[in-house]
Structure 1
Amino acid sequence: MQGENNAGEKTPLFAIHDASVVRASKTILHVDDFTLHEGEHVALLGPNGAGKSTFIQLLTREVFPLYRDEPPVRFRGNPRPQLTDVRRALGVVSSTMHEQIRVHLPSVDIVVGGLFGTLGLPKQVEVTERDRQLALDALERLGIPEVAERDVMTLSTGQARRVLVARELIRDPQVLVFDEPCTGLDPEGMYHVRETMSTLAAEGRSIILVTHYPEDIIPAIGRVMLIKNAAIFADGPKEQILCDEVLSNLFDVPLVVDEHDGWYSMRGQYGA
């Protein structure tokens, strides 16, 4: 639920201030200031190893920043939220999660597993008819009801990726985090995953997208944050951020950015 601070302003969904994540005496991410409001969308763009995944782990509380008298990360204004509250609000879909599917189960069972935080059904758990219906509804909303009884290992990569989205959707999260969602997909799979993000954004859920490519940024996402060398490199409206000069500086190679009907693409400026 959205709250308000003493000035009558709405409390951000996430607020980060002076957060440093350190491993082996090396700072792998530093965030001066970042806020994300309920229903707001943002895309995180940057090179491999820049700190994008660590940033997401700060939000999901999988990693913690250095101690400060004032806690650096707040969730809905709470400096020490319960992990269960954060997980209830966030759904996370990643290509690495897809790689972890190694079980021959009907797709509907994979989706029901989202209620328990498992890839599949945990032992000694009785699945109710309501649980199963929630899973079928999630598959229906994503346009793949026909895969419900199919072995998830026999699905196309694009279908399996959408099954994982349904697995998160079954818990009705307010925020969907898509971490490199189009990695390993063919053009058809990419189309459907991007369409899925558009559908969820239209429902009023916050979309946090982590990607290397502007092509993944759906028109509904109006804000882009660039991460380079373990720090925020730029943050603002995509019309200002997604341009030749800024992305060339981000990736340290000459790039050309094109835009068509709210979609952006990037290509190398060879021979420059």
Structure 2
Amino acid sequence: MLELTDLGHRYQETGWLFRHVTLAVRPGSVTVVLGPNGRGKTTLVRCAAGLLNPEEGTVSHDGPIGFVPQARGGAFAYRAVDMVVMGRVRQVSLFGTPSRDDRVAALDAMDRIGVKHLAERQFPTLSGGEQQLVLVARAIASESPVLVLDEPTTGLDLHNQAQILSLLRKLVADGLGVLLTTHHPDHALFLADSVVLMGGPEDVAYGSAAELLTEEALSRLYDIDVRIVTYRADDGERQAVVTGYGSGELDRR
């Protein structure tokens, strides 16, 4: 389990990004962080993953954390499979090298994500979306009980977005705990058990998805008129978000 207790972080130039964030990511659950640009979503998950020390509050967990950053290219010409093998670092002894089993685990993770055909490609030559998929495979290969993902669908087309979201659902059903950020409330409607709405330094709400993913809350969070519509899918009813582009208002009929 991953727990954040009364977490806060600030930068000298901009002041507090957020304060008093408390949440728990339990096995077999998904917590989704939503909010406008610049409200501290990436900083929050970097603190949760242990990559950044918060200014206040604590982060605790009972196992290793797998982290998926937003893909931003790479300065070193590693092969894609080598990038994924790096996720196996905790399985390798201090002075050891990755074993055949580590490579098999890496290739298996790439196969699950659908990027095994990219294994021998140089990571910097991949498209942004392909790089993102490779980074997700790296986190899967780590076999960590909790995954923290920062915008895992960045740069992905609709097919690959659906692939990642469906895979996360399967992993969660197997007991994985997930904390992720997204700019897509639709993804939260599909995945989330709990959500964090980051509206400002002192305006952070945490609770169940059913309670917080409402038209009123999302309209206030993004300062645009939001409607949630229900539609029928192959596996039952689903919900999606519709926004009033242009005028900011939707026809309420």
Range class of TM-score, shorter chain: 0.7 to 0.9
Shift of 1:103: 4.1
C-alpha change, 1:126 and 1:30, in structure 2 (3 Å) is same
1:64 aligns with 2:40: no
C-alpha change, 1:271 and 1:148, in structure 2 (3 Å) is closer
Shift of 1:143: 3.4
Q: Which residue of 2 aligns with 1:82?
A: none
Counterpart of 2:42 (choices 53, 63, 84) is 53
C-alpha change, 1:109 and 1:65, in structure 2 (3 Å) is closer
Greater strand percent: which structure? Answer: 2
Number of equivalences: 238
C-alpha change, 1:176 and 1:45, in structure 2 (3 Å) is same
1:268 aligns with 2:239: no
- What TM-score comes out, normalization by structure 1 length? 0.75
Counterpart of 2:103 (choices 128, 132, 140) is 132
1:143 aligns with 2:114: yes
**1:190, 1:203 → 2: CA distance?**
20
Q: Which residue of 1 aligns with 2:9?
A: 21
What one-letter code is carried by the residue in structure 1 that aligns with 2:20?
V
Q: Which residue of 1 aligns with 2:172?
A: 201
C-alpha contact (below 8 Å) 1:225/1:233 kept by paired residues: yes
Taking only the aligned residue pairs, the percentage that are identical comes to 29
**1:175, 1:156 → 2: CA distance?**
27
C-alpha change, 1:104 and 1:16, in structure 2 (3 Å) is same
Q: Which residue of 2 aligns with 1:115?
A: 88
C-alpha contact (below 8 Å) 2:151/2:182 kept by paired residues: yes
Shift of 1:218: 6.0
Shift of 1:173: 0.7
The 5-angstrom pairing of residues 179-190 of structure 1 reads: 179-190=150-161
The Cα offsets for residues 16-68 of structure 1, whole Å up to 9 and x where unpaired, read as 03x3323228222102533333332111100111121222122123333446x
The 5-angstrom pairing of residues 80-91 of structure 1 reads: 89-91=64-66
- What TM-score comes out, normalization by structure 2 length? 0.80
What one-letter code is carried by the residue in structure 2 that aligns with 1:22?
R
The Cα offsets for residues 85-112 of structure 1, whole Å up to 9 and x where unpaired, read as 7xx62111122xx213244443211111
Unaligned runs of 5+ in 1: 1-11, 77-84, 118-123
What one-letter code is carried by the residue in structure 2 that aligns with 1:27?
W
Unaligned runs of 5+ in 2: 232-236
SS in structure 1 at match of 2:161: helix
The Cα offsets for residues 84-143 of structure 1, whole Å up to 9 and x where unpaired, read as x7xx62111122xx21324444321111122349xxxxxx97442222112112122323
What one-letter code is carried by the residue in structure 2 that aligns with 1:24?
Q
**1:150, 1:132 → 2: CA distance?**
15
Shift of 1:221: 1.9
What is the RMSD of the two structures over their aligned residues, measured on CA atoms? 2.7
What one-letter code is carried by the residue in structure 2 that aligns with 1:168?
A
